[in-house]
Structure 1
Amino acid sequence: MMKIAKTLLLAAIMLAGAGSAALAQLPATANDVHPLLVGTKVPAVTVQDTDGKQVPTTRIFSKQPTVLVFYRGGWCPYCNRHLSELAETEASLKALGYQVVAISPDAPDKLRATMEKDKLGYRLFSDSEGALTKAMGIAYQVPAHYEKVIREGSDGRNTSFLPVPAVFLLNMEGEILYEYVNPDFRKRISGAMLLANAKALAAAK
């Protein structure tokens, strides 16, 4: 009996240690993130569409140049304003050959609610477990006061990270051509600035 108890105790310690190690791998704050650099290719992972189906990022980005947006969740008013502004700029971006794709930790059903609320025509994808967000180098440890809202937004799948809101311009090979990453979630790239950079890249081809 004593041996079993020791074994269970050891297993619990190991699990706790593994959880702490996983958390420690994330930057402590938004100011500590290290985004992938311009010229780097986006790692190939999978995300979920609004129907909950797994979709490889390579399939999404290989169709056409992409405006890749990361936002915190449909619960964030700053994110909703930014998503709506992107919707107003989408037609001009499409005319330049770009598609707009937005990623958040929200679960697929929450994505659908955001699309309806903000009247979005572009696609949203779920990265509830953070595979893409972490690979992009923009995930950080969730502050305690956000734990409840991100857990609810992800249907319990995310309890550990938040993305720094970011926008990347990618070519069809998934290479980063431009990025805007600001640790202050209240400050987002304007539609006009995004469009200007997209035009400059299109003209440089």
Structure 2
Amino acid sequence: MKKIIILFAIVLAQFSVAQNDLPKSANDIAPLLIGEKAPNTNLTSIDGKPVSFLDVLNNNKTILVFYRGGWCPYCNKHLSALAEAEPELLKMGYKIVAVSPDSAKSLEETKSKDKVNYTLLSDSENNFSKAFGLAFEAPKNYEKYLMKGSDNVNSSIIPVPSVFILDKDGTILFEYIAPDYKHRLSNELLLSVANSLK
């Protein structure tokens, strides 16, 4: 019996280590799938207050966006494009929530620069992107951008840019995951899919 308990402890320890291992590249991630539910992880609002994702969802259909940070020109272009699509998405009954490793202070700068009205949330410790299976080890040359954007909380973890459409209870209805950060979901496709799922 003692041997079985020791063996179980070893297996559990190995599983724990494996769970903490991050994918080495954007192509190695294992994201949540359509039909699975978004995790109820704590995030930080733009005013620096902790908030649970289910409270943010607040029983609304949601366009959930993961982006690398306000330092990324491709992300800024995408966030601005989403701002243009927002009125039509609101008419369909959706709200937009965008999450990055940036600190609340950096979110404020991004909100102003990209002229967005929708919700920006901070995931500086990357717990939300890890729970979604989107986090991976950032290339070494990203460290200075991540450190500055996250207010020195994060130096090595980055999410793969992604767009999810969630039902009111957080169930994933659609996902677009872009390991090549230069490719983003177009507004045309997003609006078409959102309309078909409303």
> Does the 8 A contact of 1:40 with 1:176 survive in 2?
yes
Whether the 8 Å contact between 2:59 and 2:169 is mirrored in structure 1 is: no
Alpha-carbon distance in 2 for matches of 1:121, 1:106? 17
The SS at the match of 1:87 is: helix
**What is the TM-score of this pair, normalised by structure 1?**
0.86
Contact 1:23 1:141 in 2 (8 A): no
Say whether residues 1:131 and 2:134 are aligned partners.
no
Shift of 1:24: 6.2
Length-normalised TM-score, structure 2? 0.89
| Number of aligned residues | 182
Distance (Å, rounded) in 1 between the aligned partners of 2:92 and 2:31? 26
Instruction: Please identify runs of 4+ aligned residues in structure 1 that moved more than 2 A.
Output: 21-24
Please say if 1:43 is aligned against 2:39: yes
Equivalent of 2:106 in 110, 120, 123: 110
Query: Which structure: larger Rg?
Result: 1
Of 154, 159, 166, which aligns to 1:158?
Answer: 154
**Alignment-mate amino acid for residue 58 of structure 2:** S
Q: Give 2:169's match in structure 1, choosing from 157, 170, 173.
A: 173
Q: After superposition, what is the alpha-carbon deviation per residue over 1:90-130, rounded to whole angstroms, capped at 9, x for unaligned?
A: 00000000000000000000000000001101010000001
What is the one-letter code of the residue matched to 2:63? V
Give unmatched runs, 5+ long, in structure 2: 1-16
**Structure 2 CA distance, aligned partners of 1:59 and 1:23?**
26
Deviates more, 1:130-139 or 1:22-31: 22-31
**Counterpart residue type for residue 140 of structure 1:** F
Output the CA distance in 1 between the equivalents of 2:126 and 2:31.
14
Q: Distance in 2 between matches of 1:96 and 1:145?
A: 41
8 Å Cα contact 1:141/1:160 also seen in 2: yes
> Which residue number corresponds to residue 81 of structure 1?
77
Are 2:130 and 1:101 equivalent residues in the alignment?
no
One-letter code aligned to 1:73: G
Give per-residue Cα distances to partners, 1:145-169, cap 9 Å, x unaligned: 1011101110011122110000000
Give the RMSD, CA atoms, in angstroms.
Answer: 1.3
Rounded Cα–Cα distance in structure 2 between residues aligned with 1:75 and 1:188: 16
Give the corresponding residue for 1:68: 64
1:34 aligns to what?
30
- What amino acid is the match of 2:76? N
d(CA) in 1 for partners of 2:138, 2:74: 17
CA contact (8 A) 1:87 1:120 kept: yes
Cα distance in 1 for residues equivalent to 2:194 and 2:21: 33
Does the CA-based 8 Å contact 1:23-1:160 persist in structure 2?
Answer: no
- Could you tell me which residue of structure 1 aligns to residue 4 of structure 2? none
Identity in percent: 48
Question: Is 1:193 matched with 2:189?
Answer: yes
Once residues 64 and 36 of structure 1 are traced to their aligned partners in structure 2, the CA distance between those partners, rounded to angstroms, is 20
- Name 2:14's counterpart in structure 1: none
Q: Matches of 2:59 and 2:96 in 1, distance apart? A: 12
Distance 1:93 1:117 in 2: 21
